[in-house]
Amino acid sequence: MKRIKNKKFVLFLFFLSIASAVVWAWPFSRPGDTSLDTAKAILENGLFSNHYLMEFMMDRISYPIFMAGVFKVFGQNLMIIRIIQVFIYAGLVLLIYKFCQDFFGERTAKLAGFIAAVSYTLASFTGWLYREIIFTTLVFLLVYLLYQAQRREKNIWFVLAGLVFGLAVLTNSIIQFFLFIIIANFLFLNRGGIKKVIPQLALFFMAVLSIISPFIISNYLNFKVSPFPFGAREGLVIYMRVEKMKAIEGKYLSHFIGNATGDFIAQKLFDDYDPNEARLGWQNREEWKKMIYQEGRDVKEVDRELTEKSIREIFKHPVQFLKMSSIDFLKYNTPMVPDVRMQHMFAEPGSHPEFSDFTKIAIILSIRFIYLIFAILIIYAIVRNIKNWPKIGWPVLIIVYFNLIFSNLHAIARYSLPIYPFYIIFLALGVLIIWDKLIKEKSR
């Protein structure tokens, strides 16, 4: 009976997630970025060609490969890609349910699965021709396989985890340094002794190489550079970071409030508030473009030069760097709401004149307050379970890793999508812990 009931709930989650994607994603679909042009280049020139986009996109190549594969079978139909992404999202929801069922119990599985199935944040990206929903699914699958490798201690799980990690690296190279955390955590957790876990980690590493090495070799043969370690344009990213941290000096409070509550409130409190100062690093970006496109300098040489220059500036001004990191942490964890960036809600002149300023502020703070409650419940669940590291270790490590990486480089809310499934799991745990406490108090 229980098995039939669970099957019914699985079907419920599956169809609920598809309905959620239709409601949240398709009305707000976004066009593709360079991935679409790269997919067309793959079809025309081959996967390992010397087309300039292959060098430019090599550290995120798997999404264009996915698009090219769809185009090859169905023709250049963007709707088919969106439909496939809806089913990938539905699969992710079911995997979240299965993961929680295996490691956190049926109640947590049902609640986390339901939240994931109605989550605007996850569902909305099925309508975007971006890599996010694919990358999020790969990251979650990686964690699931790492848990299986930890629990079962079988070689096959290490190999499967390595293959998925390799695909994740080719989808977004930002995850590549998580390799060292994987090694460290297995050494910390290992029960079978170092002699057993080292060969298994070697299998994991060889599986990773089997996925990424063809692309490393191709990039080197065609362009005399390697996309790993780091990735393309790492110097540009750090160089823009330096510009931002200098721009907010003396204006930290306004930018902190602006990113904690939104641009609209900061504009009301500070006359000189300019959100663009902490957004991208516009001048340094233009300088990079000039060096590459006008002066014709080698990309890797420019990146190396800018990286060294930027690191010197960061060491000269560590407090400024940390201030900017706190701003980017807020950017990274900004709530995502339908058809508008939460950061910019009501900030454009003349936006929603039918609302008073008081009403606009009330709406913004209400949404932020709900997310603050979510954050408190997530942190509470982690703290309550932190002693059971084998149980919660991998999700915590992923959450910390992504927050640290993006907070110290460049962050926007979209980049946080891969850790939302883990936020949802800990939110479900936190809600159930509080619920159980309330029930116990009532029964006394």
Residue 415 structural domain: 235-444
Establish if 73 belongs to a structural domain: no
| Tokens encoding 191 | 């029960």
Residues of the chain with pLDDT under 70: 1-5, 27-33, 191-192, 225-233, 339, 441-444
Q: How much is the pLDDT for 236?
A: 81
The predicted-structure confidence for 277-297, as pLDDT tens digits, reads as follows 888 777 887 887 788 778 888
The pLDDT, as a whole number, for residue 443 is: 66
User: Which pair of tokens denotes residue 278?
Assistant: 């902490």
Pairing of strands 340-341, 336-337: antiparallel
Number of domains in the chain: 1
pLDDT of residue 347: 85
Beta bridge partners of 269: none
Could you tell me if residue 177 is inside a domain? no
**Number of residues written out for the chain:** 444
Q: Is residue 70 part of a domain?
A: no
pLDDT at position 4 is 44
| pLDDT value for 1 | 40
Residue 26, domain member (yes or no): no
* Any domain includes 395: yes
Q: Within its chain, how far is the Cα of 146 from the centroid?
A: 18
What are phi and psi for residue 295, nearest 5 degrees?
Answer: -85, -15
DSSP state of 130: S
In a domain, 428, yes or no: yes
Report if residue 30 sits inside a domain: no
Please name which of 385, 287, 393, 266 lies closest in space to residue 330, comparing C-alpha atoms: 266
Say how far apart CA 362 and CA 357 lie, in whole Å: 9
Burial of 61 (0-12, 13-18, 19+ CB in 10 A): buried
